[in-house]
Structure 1
Amino acid sequence: MLERKILSVLLVLCLTFTPGCWSRKELNELAVVMALGIDIHENGYAITAQVLNSAEAGSKKGGSMGSLPAVTYKSVGKTIPDALQRMLSMAPRMPYLSHVRVLVFGEDLARSGVSDVLDYISRNHQLRTDFFMLVAKNGKAAEILEVVTPFEYVPANSLYSSILISEKKWAATGKVTLQQFVTELKRSGSDPVLSGVQLSGSLAEGQSMENVKQINPATLLQHTGLGVFKGDRLVGWLGEPPSKAVNYVLNRVDATMGFIACPDDGIVGFAVNRADTTLDVKLNADGTPAFSAEMEIEADVNAVQCAIDISQPAVIDELEKDIENKYNANIRKHIGLVQQRYGADVFGFGEVLHRKYPDVWKKYRDHWGESFKTMSIRVDTDVAIRRVGSIIQPLNQKVVEP
C-alpha cells in the first residue's frame, strides 16, 4: 500500500513539471512567413516578408474573399529583429519564421557583407537551416518577393521549386542552404557562392494577378548563374558557362546538356547523366602545391546533326575524346577566370591543401586569395558514352541506293 502511495505522489510531481501545451501557438495567431527578403537601408535593414494568407491558400478559385494566397509586408529597423517587430504595426499577427523556404539578399546588401544578417538568422531558434538562399542580381530582394508567379499558388513555393529543378537539370545554378553557406564561409581555404535571381520583365506588371492570367506572362523570375563571394561579401557574378564549371568542380552536377562540333559540319548533342569530380594536390620539387581536378562523366547522345556513323565503335571513341577535350579546355579556362578576376577560391582547393598538407597550408593561409591566383590546376576528364538513342543513323543522312 505504501509503495502505491509513493508511486501516486511521483506521478503527480511528474505532471507538475511536464505540462503538455505551455508553448502552443494557434494558427490564427500567427503570420506564417514563407519567404524573407533583406535589403540594406540608410536606417539599417529593410525587411520584406511574404506571408501565407491561410484563409485563401486552400481555395482553388482565388480565395473565399477574392484575395491572393500570400501577402507581402515591409518594415525598416536598425537590426533585423527590430524591423520584424515594427512589422507588427501593419500585420495583424506575429511573424512566424519556422516555415521560411527562401531567403533573398538584395545585391547592395550582399556586396556590403552578410555576416551581421547571418548572425541573427543563425541565432533565431525559429529558423531552420534547410531553406535556400539567393541574391537579387542588379536589384532588391523586395522586388523579387512582390512578383506573382505561375504554377504554384504561393509565390515562395514557385521560387523554391524552380531552384530545385534548375539545380538538378541545368547545372548553372545551385541550391545553397544556410548551413552550407556558413560552413564554406568559416572553413579555411574556401569561399562560398550563391545563386542569383532577377526580374525578367516589368515589376509593376509582375505585381498584378493579371501577370499569371496570360499565356505569356509579362514578368517572370529568372535564375542568373552564381554570385562569387570573397569572405562574406559578394564580389561579382559568373555567367552560365563559368557557373557550370564551378558546379562541376564542386561535384554538384546531377544532369545537364552539351554539344560538340562534328569534324566537317554540324553538331552532336549529349546529355550528362552522371558527373563525379575528385580534387587532389601534390607538391612540386620546390614545395609549391600543384592541384588537379579529375572528372568522370557518363553521357548519352541525344542529337546528331551531321553525317557521322555512330554505329561504329571508332566514331563513339572519337566523340568521347572530343567531349573530354572540350571539358578539359572549358573547365580550366573558367577556373582561371575566377582565379584572375576575383581571387576567390570558390572551388575549395585551399581546403584540399589544408587537409592533405597542413604544414604547407600554414604558409599560405594568411594570403590565400593572392596565392590562389598563381596556383597550377590541371583538369583531366574521362567521358563514357552509354547510350545513343533508339535510332542509330541520323534521319538527315543520305540513303545510298543499291
Structure 2
Amino acid sequence: MKKIAAIISVLLIIPLLTGCWDYREVDKMAIVVGFAVDKGTEHEYRVTYEIVDLSQMQAEGTVKSVIVESEGDTFLEAARNAISKNFPRLYSGHTVCIIISKEIASEGILELVDFICRDAETRLSIHLFVSREETAGELLQVKPLGSELLSVEINSILMEQKHLAKAIALQTYEFINCVLCEGKSCVMTALCIEKNAEEEVVKICGSGIFKEEKLLGFIGEEETKALSFILDKVEGGVIVAKTGSGEDEDRFSLEILSNSTKIKPVLKDEKLSIEIDVETEVRLDEHFSKEDFENEKGLEELSKIAEEQMKTEMETLINQIKTEFGSDVFGFGNCVYRDYPEQWKKIKDNWDEEFKNIEVKIKPKIKILNSGTLKKSPLR
C-alpha cells in the first residue's frame, strides 16, 4: 500500500517540475508590436513589421524598433520569409495594432482575420486600422514623436481620440462579431500621414465604412463624431454650439460629462421606423458672446441650439451613409432582429433596400449642468 502511495505521489509531483512547454528566450525572438498589410509585387501580400530592437535595448537601455518587410502568398508565408539571422522567430504576442491598406480592405479581410484567429500567439484584442494613404506600410515608416515605438504611439492616439469622440476603436474580436451579427456593419479607424514643414506624423483621419468584410469608403472626423453619438460610444469630448453667422457668429464650448444613446425600432401597421434617443449632460466651459446665456432661460435656449445642431449633424450622416454606402453601420437591422424577430425574418433578405428607405427620428436632449466657475462672462 505504501509503495502504491509513493508512486501516486511521484506522479502528482512530476507535472510541477516541468517548465513551460513553449518557453523561448527573449533574445531569440523578434517581438512584433505592429504590422501593416499591402498587396505584394512578387507575391500576394507584402507585410511590414515593426519589431522591437533588442540589441539596442541591451546596449543603450532604450526601447527602439526596426522595420522589416517581407512578401508571401499567405500571411504565414510572409511571416516565415521575414525570418533572418537577426530575427530568427517573429513573436506576435505583444502586437497592439494592424494597419490594412485600402486596396486589401476593399477586396475583403477575412483571410487576414482567419490568420489572426488561428495563430496561437496573436491576441484578438489587437486594434485594426485602415490606411487612407496609397499603402499601409508607409505609415510604419514615419518616425514616432512621443514614443520610440510607432505602433504603441498609434494605439495611444486612438485611446485619446476615442475619449474625445473623434475615433471609434475596433478590436479584432469586435470585427468578427460584427461580421457574424445580423443587421450590422463595421466601422474601422482610418489613418493618414500629415505633412508639415519639419516632419511627418501619423494621425487619425476619420473612419472606414465596411459592409461585411469589405471596405466601401471613408467618412471624416466630424461625421465620425456624429456616428459615435449614434452608436453610444461617446466617453467625453466637446460640443461646439454656434449661433448667428459671419461676424455675428457666437461659439460655445460644451464639455461632455456623460452620454447615453438608445436605438429603438418601431413597428406600426407593418411599417418600420427607427427612433434614436440621445441624452447628453454637458458643462458650459467656453462662451464667446456678449449675450447672457448663463441664466436659466439662457442655458435652456443654448441647450435647444445645441440639440438642433446635433440632430442636423446626425441626420446628415445617416443620409450620407444611406445614399453613398448603403451599409447599416448603425445596427438598425440588429435592433429590429432583437425586438421584432418575426418581422426580421420577413425583411432580412431585402434589408439593404429597407435600410435605405427606413424613416429615422432623432430626439436629442442636452442638459447643461453648470456654466463653469464664473457667474458672469467678463465680456459683458
Q: TM-score with structure 2 length normalisation?
A: 0.94
Structure 1 counterpart SS, 2:357: coil
Matched, 1:162 2:157: yes
Partner of 1:194: 188
Q: How many angstroms does 1:317 deviate by?
A: 0.8
2:377 is aligned with 1:383: no
Q: Which residue of 1 aligns with 2:322?
A: 339
Equivalent position of 2:144 in the other structure: 149
Question: What pairs with 1:175-324 in structure 2 (closer than 5 Å)?
Answer: 175-201=169-195, 217-262=198-243, 265-285=249-269, 287-324=270-307
Q: Which residue does the alignment assign to 2:32? A: 33
Bigger shift: residues 110-119 or 137-146: 137-146
CA distance in 1 between partners of 2:336 and 2:305 (Å): 31
Q: Which has the higher mean CA deviation after the structures are superposed, 124-133 or 34-43?
A: 34-43
| Alignment partners' CA distance in 2, 1:245 and 1:58 | 47
- 1:274–1:57 distance in 2 versus 1, CA, 3 Å: farther
Which one-letter code corresponds to 1:178 in the other structure? T
Q: Is residue 394 from structure 1 mapped to residue 377 from structure 2 by the alignment?
A: yes
Indicate if the aligned counterparts of 2:231 and 2:330 stay in contact, CA closer than 8 A.
yes
Q: Which runs of 5+ in 2 are unaligned?
A: none
Q: Could you list the per-position Cα deviations for residues 53-97 of structure 1 after superposition, in whole angstroms to 9, with x for gaps in the alignment?
A: 1232477xxx36xx9710111110010001101111464320001
The letter for the 2-side match of 1:185 is V
- Partner of 1:206 in structure 2? none
CA deviations 1:90-144 (Å, max 9, x no partner) are 6432000100011110111111110111111111111111121101113212111
User: 2 CA distance for matches of 1:25 and 1:68?
Assistant: 20
Inter-partner Cα distance in structure 1 for 2:85 and 2:138: 19
Aligned pair partner of 1:73 in 68, 73, 80: 68
Letter in 2 for 1:125: A
SS in structure 2 of the partner of residue 373 of structure 1: helix
2:98 to 96, 103, 108: 103
Conservation of the 8 A alpha-carbon contact between 2:49 and 2:69: yes
Cα distance in 2 for residues equivalent to 1:201 and 1:333: 30
Alpha-carbon separation, structure 2, partners of 1:58 and 1:89 = 20
Q: Provide the rounded CA distance (Å) in 2 between the counterparts of 1:332 and 1:105.
A: 30
What is the CA–CA distance in structure 1 between the aligned matches of 2:40 and 2:347, rounded to whole Å? 37
More displaced 10-residue stretch of structure 1: 38-47 or 108-117: 38-47
**Residue pair 2:50, 2:65 contacting (<8 A) in 1 also:** yes
Cα deviation for residue 41 of structure 1 reads 2.2
Of 360, 363, 372, which residue of structure 1 is paired with 2:346?
A: 363
d(CA) in 1 for partners of 2:228, 2:192? 20
Structure 1 portions without partners, runs of 5+: 203-215, 398-402
Displacement of 1:159 in angstroms is 1.0
Distance 1:40 1:14 in 2: 52
Of 17-26 and 90-99, deviating more is: 17-26
Report the secondary structure of 1:88's partner residue. Answer: coil
Q: How many residues align?
A: 375
| SS at 1:175 equivalent | coil
**For residue 326 of structure 1, what is the aligned residue in structure 2?**
309
Normalised to the residue count of structure 1, the TM-score between the two structures is 0.89
CA distance in 2 between partners of 1:224 and 1:21 (Å)? 43
Q: How far 1:365 moved relative to its partner?
A: 1.4
The corresponding residue for 2:332 is 349
Give the corresponding residue for 2:110.
Answer: 115
In 2, Cα distance between equivalents of 1:376 and 1:258:
26
Q: CA deviation at 1:260?
A: 2.1
2-structure distance, mates of 1:366, 1:304: 50
CA distance in 1, matches of 2:321, 2:353: 12
Which amino acid letter does the alignment assign opposite residue 142 of structure 1?
G
Q: Distance in 1 between matches of 2:285 and 2:262?
A: 27
| Per-residue deviation, 1:12 | 2.1
- Asked if structure 1 preserves the Cα contact closer than 8 Å seen for 2:127 and 2:171, the reply is yes
1:390 CA drift (Å):
1.2
SS of 2:317's partner is helix
User: After superposition, what is the alpha-carbon deviation per residue over 1:257-284, rounded to whole angstroms, capped at 9, x for unaligned?
Assistant: 1222336642222111211100101112
Contact 1:290 1:376 (C-alpha < 8 Å) held by counterparts: yes
Per-residue CA deviation, residues 230-282 of structure 1 (Å, 9 max, x unaligned), is 11110010012221111111111111212223366422221112111001011
Q: What per-residue deviation string (whole Å, max 9, x for no partner) do you get for residues 383-402 of structure 1?
A: 100121111222222xxxxx
Question: 1:226–1:123: structure 2 CA closer, same or farther, 3 Å change rule?
Answer: same
The residue type equivalent to 1:188 in the other structure is E
Q: Which residue of 2 aligns with 1:10?
A: 8
